[in-house]
Amino acid sequence: MKARTRAALTAPALSLAGLLAVTGPAAAADGTASGDLTPVPLNGVDGSGDAMVWVEGTTLTVEFAASGLLAGSPHAAHLHFGPDAANQCPTEADDADGSGTITTSEGVPSYGSVQLSLTTSGDTSGDSALAVDRFDTAEGGSIDYQRGEIEVSEDLTDNILAGDVALVVHGVDYDGSGAYDGDTESDLDPSLPAEATDPALCGILDAAQMDEMPAGGVQTGTGSTAGAEPGALITAGGVALLAGAGVGAGLLARRRGTQES
């Protein structure tokens, strides 16, 4: 009798264990997200662009093209997200102080804080949000950025595929001088002019049909934001850039032209 009782108790336990083994933790999803980059209102940018992100588990490949930027100057670019943000690009209503322009900090309620710095090499975390020497320079006013093997957190990939992440390109030229200057200090770093850090272009990345990743020429990311919760990359001062569907035809044409050549 005792043997039969033990067997009866053991069978359901084994069945439960088998069920848990089959279900297990959910794996990170694969997919793509893309969006058009449009000018941030009030900031005097006459530019455009498109962007695409490939998600494989917790690894990203990011590609964006932008034009109409300040020629010969570096432009910081990031993926932004905030759990309490509106997850949209700024509107004129975001000009909280009535200055007639929108600062990065004023845009945060719309697009959230920096989750990934789109540097050309090295670290990609929020610590590199203002790493000017590692962001692309707009040669002739244009940027064609591509970087792969960027390790991030599953939270970030989930938010990308949910359509809640914005790609923001920073750097404007309010006075038309052809350089980052002016008397107004950046709200992120008082040693920089506001022109160097205010947002220029913004686009929300929407889930897109899976497309083949770029072949060759992808810069390899060595930085990581793995394990970071949304908003956890906010650090003191300007370095944190705050507490403070379809794919663009031009982007696909450039990439496909490269693959066929």
The predicted-structure confidence for 41-55, as pLDDT tens digits, reads as follows: 999 999 999 999 999
Contacts of 201 (CB under 8 A, 6+ apart): 37, 38, 39, 40, 45, 47, 48, 49, 66, 68, 69, 168, 169
Amino acid letter for position 135: F
Q: Would you place residue 66 in the very low, low, confident or very high pLDDT band (cuts 50, 70, 90)?
A: very high
When divided into structural domains, the chain yields a total of 1
Q: Is residue 240 part of a domain?
A: yes
- 130 near 187, Cβ under 8 Å? no
Give the mean pLDDT of 65-87: 98
Minimum mean pLDDT among 10-24, 161-175, 200-214: which range? 10-24
Task: In whole angstroms, give the CA distance from residue 167 to residue 103.
Answer: 16
Q: Is residue 143 part of a domain?
A: yes
Residue 163 burial class via C-beta count within 10 angstroms: exposed 0-12, middle 13-18, buried 19 and up: middle
To which H or E segment does residue 32 belong?
Answer: strand 30-39
Q: Which residue has the higher pLDDT, 213 or 196?
A: 196
Give the mean pLDDT of 101-130: 97
Contacts of 158 (CB under 8 A, 6+ apart): 28, 29
Sign of the torsion formed by the C-alpha atoms of 125, 131, 137 and 142 = positive
Q: Would you place residue 211 in the very low, low, confident or very high pLDDT band (cuts 50, 70, 90)?
A: low
Q: Is residue 182 part of a domain?
A: yes
Q: Is residue 9 part of a domain?
A: no
Nearest to 169 by CA among 192, 139, 137: 137
Q: Is residue 99 part of a domain?
A: yes
Minimum mean pLDDT among 3-7, 96-100, 136-140, 156-160: which range? 3-7
Task: Supply the CATH number for residue 151's domain.
Answer: 2.60.40.200
pTM: 0.77
Q: Is residue 183 part of a domain?
A: yes
Domain interval for residue 126? 30-260
pLDDT at residue 61 is higher than 80? yes
Among 178-182, 212-216, 248-252, top mean pLDDT goes to: 178-182
Q: Would you place residue 210 in the very low, low, confident or very high pLDDT band (cuts 50, 70, 90)?
A: low
Nearest to 59 by CA among 160, 177, 183: 160
Q: Is residue 2 part of a domain?
A: no
Q: Is residue 126 part of a domain?
A: yes
